[in-house]
Chains A and B, each alone.
Chain A
Amino acid sequence: MDEAAPIVAIDGLVKRFLARGRTTTALDGLSARILPGRITGIVGPDGAGKTTLMRLIAGLLLPDAGSIRVLGRDAVAEAEAIQAEIGYMPQRFGLYEELSAAENLALYADLHRIDAAARAQRFAELLRFTGLAPFQDRRAGKLSGGMKQKLGLACALLARPRLLLLDEPSVGVDPVSRRELWRIVENLVGEGITVLWSTAYLDEAERCAEVLLIDGGTLLAAGRPAEFAARMDGRSYAVAVPESGRRALQRRLARDPAVVDAQIQGAAVRIVLAEGAPAPAGAVRVAPRLEDAFVARLAHVRARGESARPTLAARAAADGPAIETRALVRDFGSFRAVDGISFSVARGEVFGLLGPNGAGKSTTFKMLCGLLPPSSGTARVAGVDLGHAPARARERLGYMAQRFSLYGDLSVRENLEFFGGACNLRGARLGARIDWVLDGFGLRAVAAALSGELPLGYKQRLALGCALIHEPEILFLDEPTSGVDPLSRREFWSQIGLLADHGVTVLVTSHFMEEAEYCDRLCLIYRGRTIAMGTPDGLKRRAASAALPDPTLDDAFVHLVADYDREHPP
């Protein structure tokens, strides 16, 4: 199969961008081959150059050096001929929100000049294929994230392309929708379409036939996921721990020079050993994954040990739960977004709110932050009733938004001064807190740099620092590492773990299951209700069956949602 002529041939590709008078190199002499009839994953951390590469292949950008040949044609000279034969779904799907699903399809059919007879048949085919037939008259803007994505895919597939480019199609999409997308795309490959799929999720990349690992604009490695994993054989272990002490164990292992990667997974810490290092006593060997190879590979590239370690004074244990909700309800007109959610989070616990898009978890989250009053029920944060004193409750919590809400035009120090000032910190007290963030989060060296120009990992630390500047007892994180690469994600969560061990309570929303593994307890919200609550391992056990004895959290999520739908037909 490998001897087939490549469908995309890239040689010495260089692409630079000029922004604010400075040149950044997005692609730096990248060469690769993409073979026909399979799914090739483009995997790399944020800013690795994935989107730039996709756009160059689609003929939307001109390379500064090097060549790209797509379907035997030159991507610069024959961009139009190439565009007639490829389908491209950009990150934001390219849909018109005011147009219905059917009208969006009709527009793309007109643009591809598909005649009326062929059109009816193709529409029926695509709508059935994507399961969108019942929603064809709904406006695209009113579709859920997963449905938008499928519609975007249908539009890209209208003209029966030979090559399909998907740019991070699964960002912001829940596990159920992601699985459906994979099923659809795998069927396409069966029809002979070549697919290029870029992603920052490695569990997803594992399903690709071939993976191109890129970082810093160059190709680090290429091959089958199994080959990558095989190279790591004998280096992946699970170390069992009692659930209470897993974060301390993870930190101890992560500092061990014999360990390349240490990651909490349920009640165990999963480690990847350095080459030739002996396994620690009591560790159980586990099957290696693509992610192990990725982390091991990038760990060489990126300097280790720069990870921030904020020092905190342990908090005096206060009475009562940190967060408590009772029969929380929120209506929007006749629509009940949250339908009686009750839970309680102990101090120092990392608690996750999970759920598919539109399940009600963001609404719950907003009510807990005091941004949205509940229609009925009560919510108490740090012992303060949000219904009575939302401002007083807010003083005691820190909030980090999904897209780190920093001022890009302000320096790191200015951002901290601003957020500190907004939390009523003044003078020496403010200065002390800023020093704490700069030193604790390794930001001292970049204090004068504009935060908008920092690498993502630094931005994330700064955002966390801003959320913690007033020493909140409770930290709220809204999908904190969505679309963030595995290395930045690990660093972030090790900081969160440390905070939790010092008594800070952490509430996280996510539909990204790896994030959920870091939580002590999870609450799965679906259709406005709590459908499951428990530890990550507890939820996994509920999904275990003879066919799937060791389910992942992803499997558990899909299983629990499907179970609920079966028992409570909508």
Chain B
Amino acid sequence: MSGRLISFMRLRGLVRKEGLQILRDPSSIIIALIMPIVLILLHGYGISLDPRDVPVGVVVARPTADTAGLFTALSNSPFLKPIAFADVREAEDALRRRRVDGFIVLREDFSRNAGGLARPAPIQLVVNGVDANSARILQGYVEGAVVTWVGSTAGERRSPIAAPIALDHRYWFNAELRSANFIVPGLIAMVMTLIGALLTAMVVSREWERGTMEALMVTPASMTEIMLAKLLSYFTLGMGGMAVSVGLAIFLFGVPFRGSFAMLTVIAMTFLIAALGMGLLISTVARNQFVAAQAAFVTTYMPALMLSGFLFDIGTMPAPIQAITHIVAARYFVDALQTIFLAGNVWAVLLPNLAALAGFAVFFFVLTLWRSRGRLD
């Protein structure tokens, strides 16, 4: 069916028709512009992995200058909020009632040992282990605060009580370790995956449902023109959704943006063509909107969520699953977005990702044109 030349007049007519439909039928606008806002707000606030001001109990058997110093050190940590308890029983009770996520006990001999250098001063840490991940994070924060305090007191007293090797952490690209900084760019990829495929899959299946596709096929318009018109119209709408998502990331979530907008635009455009192409491909098989929406969800969003490296680190997956992630377009987009937001224009990362996305775009569009003949069967 691609034998006919593309006519500008036909294409313009079709694009105008799509435009009027978009403006008058709110469903596409809801998918393209409202859905990203809802999804990003929901997930952006929902999937925050940062413990901040975690309530932690402190039980001091005998208050001294050292215990007060440690308490201050704990308060100075942005991650912890120490609360003093009179005895262990009270702290345990608070833990059970979830008022604190853990507590530390400084025994009577704490000050003596800490100052006397003879033996290490033991600190007991009790954490709520129900959520193992949070427990480990809390443990890390407490240890960090203690090490900081030990280091600073050792410096003041000019005595080498600290361990001979000091571990100096430095977190690159996300110095504050804010999870929003890497979750939100990944989230943009999820949202764009879903709206890209949904938009085209739904609108083409709607044409099948309402019998308008049958009428179009009997006109001189070729399948190439019909598909191209869909792609052009929903590409514009999809880029609007992308702009909304990026705006939310930068201005609402305060995600740093270190790359260039030009590069971001190029990558987003390439990915969107691939996602819309996937939707078009679904629509050649699914001829009603319900099936199309289901198919779009299962074949694009679910793999993107699980296998793109957005939620689960690809490096820790079993080898066969790692191999499968290579055919998930979102994987390249997640990587590119996280890089461009947090690290900047790192060409060695961006260019291979861009090339992979371009490959997907061409693959889906060619396959769609090949699959969609100007016939009903």
The residue that B13 contacts in the complex, of A91, A98, A111, with Cβ under 8 A, is A111
The docked-state distance in angstroms from the alpha carbon of A398 to that of B64 is 87
Most interface-central of A55, A60, A91, A94 (chain B CB within 10 A)? A94
What string of 1s and 0s marks CB contacts (under 8 Å) between B243-256 and chain A?
00000000000000
Chain A proximity of B372: nearest CB distance (Å): 13
What string of 1s and 0s marks CB contacts (under 8 Å) between A52-83 and chain B?
00010011111000000000000000011001
Q: Does A519 contact B (CB under 8 A)?
A: no
Q: Is the CB of B212 within 8 A of A94?
A: yes
The docked-state distance in angstroms from the alpha carbon of A469 to that of B216 is 45
Q: Does A328 contact B (CB under 8 A)?
A: no
Chain B proximity of A129: nearest CB distance (Å): 19
What string of 1s and 0s marks CB contacts (under 8 Å) between B1-27 and chain A?
101100101101110110011001100
Q: Does A120 contact B (CB under 8 A)?
A: no
Q: A60-B376, A80-B220 are in contact. Are A107 and B16 (CB under 8 A)?
A: yes
Q: Is the CB of A110 within 8 A of B14?
A: yes
What class of interface size applies to chain A in its complex with B? 35 or more
The docked-state distance in angstroms from the alpha carbon of A88 to that of B13 is 19
The residue that A94 contacts in the complex, of B17, B20, B214, with Cβ under 8 A, is B214
Q: Does A388 contact B (CB under 8 A)?
A: no
Q: Is the CB of A98 within 8 A of B25?
A: yes
Q: Does B221 contact A (CB under 8 A)?
A: yes
* Residues of B with C-beta under 8 A to A139: 24
Q: Is the CB of B14 within 8 A of A60?
A: no
The docked-state distance in angstroms from the alpha carbon of A351 to that of B327 is 64
Residue ID in chain A nearest B3 by CB atoms:
A80
The residue that B375 contacts in the complex, of A60, A94, A95, with Cβ under 8 A, is A60
Q: Is the CB of B220 within 8 A of A94?
A: no
Chain A proximity of B7: nearest CB distance (Å): 6
Interface residues of B in 201-250 (CB under 8 A from A): 210-212, 214-221
Q: A61-B376, A97-B210, A107-B17 are in contact. Are A113 and B215 (CB under 8 A)?
A: no
Chain A proximity of B243: nearest CB distance (Å): 25
Q: Does B374 contact A (CB under 8 A)?
A: yes
* Residues of B with C-beta under 8 A to A112: 219-220
Q: Does B131 contact A (CB under 8 A)?
A: no
The docked-state distance in angstroms from the alpha carbon of A55 to that of B217 is 11
Q: A97-B210, A113-B10 are in contact. Are A55 and B215 (CB under 8 A)?
A: no
* Residues of B with C-beta under 8 A to A83: 217-220
Residue ID in chain A nearest B12 by CB atoms:
A110
Q: Does A155 contact B (CB under 8 A)?
A: yes
Q: Is the CB of B7 within 8 A of A113?
A: yes
* Residues of A with C-beta under 8 A to B14: 107, 110-111
Most interface-central of A108, A152, A156 (chain B CB within 10 A)? A108
What string of 1s and 0s marks CB contacts (under 8 Å) between A325-361 and chain B?
0000000000000000000000000000000000000
The docked-state distance in angstroms from the alpha carbon of A61 to that of B376 is 6
Q: Does B377 contact A (CB under 8 A)?
A: yes
* Residues of B with C-beta under 8 A to A60: 214, 217-218, 374-376
Interface residues of A in 162-203 (CB under 8 A from B): none
* Residues of A with C-beta under 8 A to B210: 92, 97
Complex A-B: 24 CB contacts under 8 Å: A17-B377, A55-B214, A55-B376, A59-B375, A60-B214, A60-B375, A61-B375, A61-B376, A79-B375, A80-B374, A83-B219, A89-B215, A90-B215, A92-B212, A94-B212, A95-B215, A98-B20, A98-B25, A99-B21, A103-B17, A108-B219, A111-B221, A113-B9, A113-B10
> A83-B219, A98-B24 given. 5 additional CB < 8 A pairs?
A80-B220, A83-B217, A89-B215, A93-B211, A106-B16
Chain B residues at the A interface, C-beta cutoff of 8 Å: 1, 3-4, 7, 9-10, 12-14, 16-17, 20-21, 24-25, 210-212, 214-221, 374-377
Give 7 closest A-B pairs by Cβ, nearest first.
Answer: A94-B215, A110-B13, A92-B211, A98-B24, A88-B218, A111-B219, A90-B214
Chain A residues at the B interface, C-beta cutoff of 8 Å: 17, 55, 58-62, 79-80, 83-84, 86-99, 103, 106-113, 139, 152, 155-156
